Amino acid sequence: MKRIGVLTSGGDAPGMNAALRAVVRKAIYHDIEVMGVYNGYQGLIDGKIERLDLGYVGDIIQRGGTKLHSARCLEFITEEGQQKAIAQMKKHGIEGLVVIGGDGSYRGAMALTSKGLPSIGVPGTIDNDIPGTDYTIGFDTALNTVIEAIDKIRDTATSHERTFIIEVMGRGAGDLALWAGLAGGAETILIPEVSFDIQDILKRLRSGHDRGKKHSIIIVAEGVMSANEFANLLKEQGNIETRISVLGHIQRGGSPSARDRVLASLFGAKAVEALMEGHGGLAIGMRNHQVVEYSMTEAFNGKHYADLSMYKLSKELAI
């Protein structure tokens, strides 16, 4: 393989730049040229492609966002869109592609592979929701951003003896809420993987209050409902007054944590190795602290499981 392409797709995640750096440097180390594709699959269709050198990825390991920019591209789902992208790849001599993104991005990579252009998926999303890997790039940084916010909210919650509802991202997955709730000492965590009982939550809030708790922090994963909806529910069912905080896109930004930089470097390099070995249609991941490659179909047909033992523990610790 003499020339490969790389793109970032879907919602950006801190550490995507570190992964891009690893792809470019690992490939060039092995005398393989790298073409950077801007704006995800849209850039592949439109031919927004340029050669990347070592300097291009200098000074980016610590930067959030993605230097290649990202997009969610509906046109690429169509056969016509894919054919345009393939024509662009051929025109630019791209023999293999590394796609850094979420499971939606993997579908595109799989389509390209089945049409003869081997593509490898590198998991980049704050949601940590890609089946087959314990961690995705960006999750750890987003988690730390959420914790920082919880700690700050806790200060004011204590001063005013209030109940706060904090809404966190995660799409359909509860990982971010669960980990943040456990690390932030939240009284209640709502995740899509576990149905909740409003009466039980009210009972716990009241007994905490009776024991002298000065505040309560409730973490709601966006996949359950909005903080606003849950605030209304607490008001209607328990006459409980709350304040809400929707963390939103600050969770997607910021300098990647050391852990995300390391993960991104390992994953990016592994993706290049996979292409060099002639593979396509593989996803890169981490299982039991080992970097692994596995079938991309497993990544989008499989199911992601939140760690429910953590959920149970969080309830035990928040008595």
- Binding-site ranges for ligand F6P (CB under 6 A): 11, 102, 125-127, 169-171, 222, 252
Q: Closest distance between ligand F6P and the C-beta of residue 185, in Å?
A: 23
Pick 117 or 126: Cβ nearer ligand F6P: 126
Q: Closest distance between ligand F6P and the C-beta of residue 106, in Å?
A: 13
The span from the CA of 94 to the CA of 103, in Å, is 22
> 260 by DSSP, 3-state: which?
helix
Pick 137 or 182: Cβ nearer ligand F6P: 137
Active site residue 129: no
The span from the CA of 267 to the CA of 279, in Å, is 15
Which of 103, 127, 129, 260 is catalytic? The answer is 127
Pick 33 or 103: Cβ nearer ligand F6P: 103
Exposure string of 13-38, with b = 16+ CB inside 10 Å and e = fewer, is bbbbbbbbbbbbbbbbeeebbbbbbb
Q: Closest distance between ligand F6P and the C-beta of residue 299, in Å?
A: 15
The span from the CA of 166 to the CA of 148, in Å, is 12
> 288 by DSSP, 3-state: which?
coil
Q: Closest distance between ligand F6P and the C-beta of residue 171, in Å?
A: 4
Q: Closest distance between ligand F6P and the C-beta of residue 158, in Å?
A: 28
Pick 35 or 126: Cβ nearer ligand F6P: 126
**Alpha carbons within 13 A on the beta-carbon side of 125:** 28
The span from the CA of 170 to the CA of 228, in Å, is 17
Give start and end residues of each alpha helix (H) in 165-307: 175-183, 198-210, 227-238, 258-276, 296-301
What DSSP line would sit under 40-89, residue for residue?
Answer: HHHHHHHT-EEEE-GGGGTT-TT--S-TT-----SGGGSHHHHHHHHHHH
Pick 33 or 175: Cβ nearer ligand F6P: 175
Active site residues: 127
